[in-house]
Amino acid sequence: MKRILVVEDEDVIRDFVVINLRRGGYEVVDVATGEAALEAFDEAGGDFDIALLDVMMPGIDGFEVCKEIRKRSGSVGIIMLSAKTQEMDKVSGLMLGADDYVAKPFSPTELVARVDAVYRRVSMARASTDPGEQIVSGKFVLGLKSRTLTKDSIAVDLTQMEFQIMEYFMRNQGAALERTEILKHVWGENYFGDDKIVDVNIRRLRMKIEDDPSSPRHILTVWGRGYKWVD
């Protein structure tokens, strides 16, 4: 069963979201506060495929919930939900580990489609591959079964989106990949958002794998095109 944690402090919006997600085949656990969200997540042992988090809530806000959930799990899909559309709000959520950002107001069709897209990516990332299959690139080793990355034998914590970007890079070492190519490969052909989500995830990856993120040696910018990976 597809399980989703919905965190929204406005009852009318939460009920609307819950009804449409249930119609879409999801088992929904819904709460009204960030504190209740973390409690529900921990009580379930993190057994959720997706967390849908409202940003603006009294007490612990959605950004903090995102940060805490991401500490607990790199595999759960996280979608931020907010009336705020400023670029900085989107970047803040994505830098904390969110996979997508949906702005209010939204249609039921758009919301369920965005949730379905994240669910498909999470499911694919959890699918088994050859237990011994790895991709090695210099000091980096990507384990396709374990969904892990090591640098100099030291584990690097990645979200599922970051892992998929790294897999795409390492399977295409030295090739200049356009943002739209990365977006389609990782987020899917029918992704509703824009390609800036790629740039934010690249920033996040550089902070995790580069010795000096401000002067990257592995994930290089190809001006006017996108990015490429070198070991």
Q: What's the average model confidence in pLDDT over 199-214?
A: 94
Looking at residue 23, what is its pLDDT?
Answer: 94
Please count the other Cβ atoms lying within 10 Å of the Cβ belonging to residue 86. Answer: 10
Looking at residue 97, what is its pLDDT?
Answer: 87
In order of their start, the domains of the chain are 2-126 (3.40.50.2300), 134-229 (1.10.10.10)
- Distance between CA 1 and CA 40 in Å, rounded? 17
Confidence band of 83 (pLDDT split at 50, 70, 90):
confident
Looking at residue 120, what is its pLDDT?
Answer: 86
- Write out pLDDT tens, residues 162-203: 998 999 999 999 999 999 999 988 887 777 777 788 999 999
Residue 28: is its pLDDT beyond 80? yes
The region of weakest confidence among 76-90, 101-115, 138-152, 192-206 is 76-90
Helix (H) / strand (E) element for 116: namely: helix 108-126
Q: Is the dihedral of CA 110, 115, 116, 120 positive or negative?
A: positive
* Residue 54 in tokens: 């409202």
Looking at residue 20, what is its pLDDT?
Answer: 96
Residue 195 vs residue 116, higher pLDDT:
116
Residue 129: is its pLDDT beyond 60? no
Looking at residue 85, what is its pLDDT?
Answer: 64
Looking at residue 201, what is its pLDDT?
Answer: 92
CA-based nearest residue to 209, from 168, 171, 147, 154 = 154
Residue 131: is its pLDDT beyond 60? no
- Give the predicted TM-score (pTM) of the model: 0.81
- Write out pLDDT tens, residues 32-49: 999 999 999 999 999 999
Residue 84: is its pLDDT beyond 70? no
